[in-house]
Structure 1
């Protein structure tokens, strides 16, 4: 049976820094494996050819594109984080939003107690929710 895994393509060698940040910030996250480009490329040596990680238990792949594309991440794809309590909601919203952009401020919008939507400094979008 086929399996679908979210695949995050970073540009300018940012994949490992992003994964390290997510693992340090989001509970239940870890890097499973890293495969790097070697001296023969085609990408810059040491950047990520393929990475497997779990973000809040969700398997994710990541890659450092050695080609600069005319597109990047869009908020149309986001990680939706259900938080355990108010403190975790506030912490994740602040940490993931630092250096990024607030798309919807943390508030009560009628479908949960607290909800906010941000784009982090790497361009990945996060919906932070307190059910």
Structure 2
């Protein structure tokens, strides 16, 4: 084995918009490399063939599937983010849950001062924690 990287497979050409959104709003995030499908396909031109990004410092790989699947993201896979302070927690929770779904509203559930779980508008699940 040479390594392991979380892999995000988007459908409907949402990959680039999702990565751009994360880079803009999540500290410690950047696109490392991005290879797009060309005019010859097999995916739609301009969608992601393969991308590497750092999201909150974590390397992830992304792809826009050109094959329709009967499944998508599920909350059983999520990014678990430990926030530095409450303003950062509140900002991230607000922006990531925008047009998404709140799975557990921010609160003290007994394991940290503040915790919240959400699914963003791309379908990716996030757990935010303030210790």
Q: Which residue of 2 aligns with 1:88?
A: 88
CA-based RMSD? 0.6
CA distance, structure 1, for counterparts of residue 84 and residue 57 of structure 2: 15
Which of structure 1's runs of 4+ aligned residues deviate more than 3 A? Answer: none
The alignment partner of 2:63 has SS state of strand
CA distance, structure 1, for counterparts of residue 90 and residue 37 of structure 2: 37
Q: Which residue of 2 aligns with 1:45?
A: 45
CA distance, structure 1, for counterparts of residue 2 and residue 108 of structure 2: 38
Whether 1:66 aligns to 2:66 is yes
CA distance, structure 1, for counterparts of residue 104 and residue 39 of structure 2: 43
Q: Please give the TM-score of this superposition, normalised by the length of structure 1.
A: 0.98
The alignment partner of 1:117 has SS state of strand
For 1:1-131, list aligned pairs within 5 A.
1-131=1-131
CA distance, structure 1, for counterparts of residue 23 and residue 41 of structure 2: 27
Matched pairs, number: 131
Q: Please give the TM-score of this superposition, normalised by the length of structure 2.
A: 0.98
* CA shift digits 1:14-45 (9 cap, x unpaired): 00000000011110000000101111110011
CA distance, structure 2, for counterparts of residue 82 and residue 43 of structure 1: 36
